[in-house]
């Protein structure tokens, strides 16, 4: 398996522009997570999906952020309009979730998308 695939790896944009980050999870995984990492705030959970359904988006900073998962093999995180404070590394991760007490739920991360908003 190719692992979790994210694109683009690097994005530099100007304030006010729309940014779309993409993620392809590992085939067969049924949960997908979007995290944001900065030096100041560490690795923050933005939103996660189970079976393509958003379960918890309480970590999404504000209405400028939106995420979709139209099918089991693709998800997007969109920022519109972007601001300099959105500059961070955005990670997508996927896992196979079985029973709550099972030994699953191990996250596999993509390589990340480094976003710089000027």
Partner 1 sequence: QKEVEQNSGPLSVPEGAIASLNCTYSDRGSQSFFWYRQYSGKSPELIMSIYSNGDKEDGRFTAQLNKASQYVSLLIRDSQPSDSATYLCAVRGSSASKIIFGSGTRLSIRP
- Within 10 angstroms of residue 47's Cβ, the number of other Cβ atoms is 22
Going by C-alpha positions, the residue among 13, 55, 19 that lies closest to residue 47 is 55
Kindly tell me which residue out of 16, 55, 61, 118 binds partner 1, with binding defined by CB under 8 A. 55
Q: According to the binding rule CB under 8 A, does residue 17 interact with partner 1? A: no
Kindly tell me which residue out of 14, 18, 56, 83 binds partner 1, with binding defined by CB under 8 A. 56
Kindly tell me which residue out of 7, 50, 73, 87 binds partner 1, with binding defined by CB under 8 A. 50
Q: According to the binding rule CB under 8 A, does residue 48 interact with partner 1? A: yes
- Report how far Cα 46 is from the mean position of its chain's Cα atoms: 7
By three-state DSSP, how is residue 86 classified? Answer: helix
> Which residues from 59-88 bind partner 1, rule CB under 8 A?
none
Q: Which residues contact 93 (CB under 8 A, 6 or more apart)?
A: 4, 32, 33, 35, 107, 108, 109, 110
> Would you tell me which residues interact with partner 1 (CB under 8 A)?
31, 33, 35, 41-43, 45, 48, 50, 55-56, 91, 95, 97, 100-101, 103, 105-112
């Amino acid at each position: 398996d190719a692992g979790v695939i994210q694109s683009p790896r690097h994005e530099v944009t100007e304030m006010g522009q729309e940014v779309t980050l993409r993620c392809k999870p590992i085939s067969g995984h049924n949960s997908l997570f979007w995290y944001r990492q900065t030096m100041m705030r560490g690795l923050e959970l933005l939103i996660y999906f189970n079976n393509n359904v958003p379960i918890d988006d309480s970590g999404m900073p504000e209405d400028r952020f939106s995420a979709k998962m139209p099918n089991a093999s693709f998800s997007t995180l969109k920022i519109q309009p972007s601001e300099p404070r959105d500059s961070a590394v955005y990670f997508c991760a996927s896992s196979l979730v079985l029973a709550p007490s099972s030994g699953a739920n191990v996250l596999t991360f993509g390589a990340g998308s480094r976003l710089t908003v000027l």
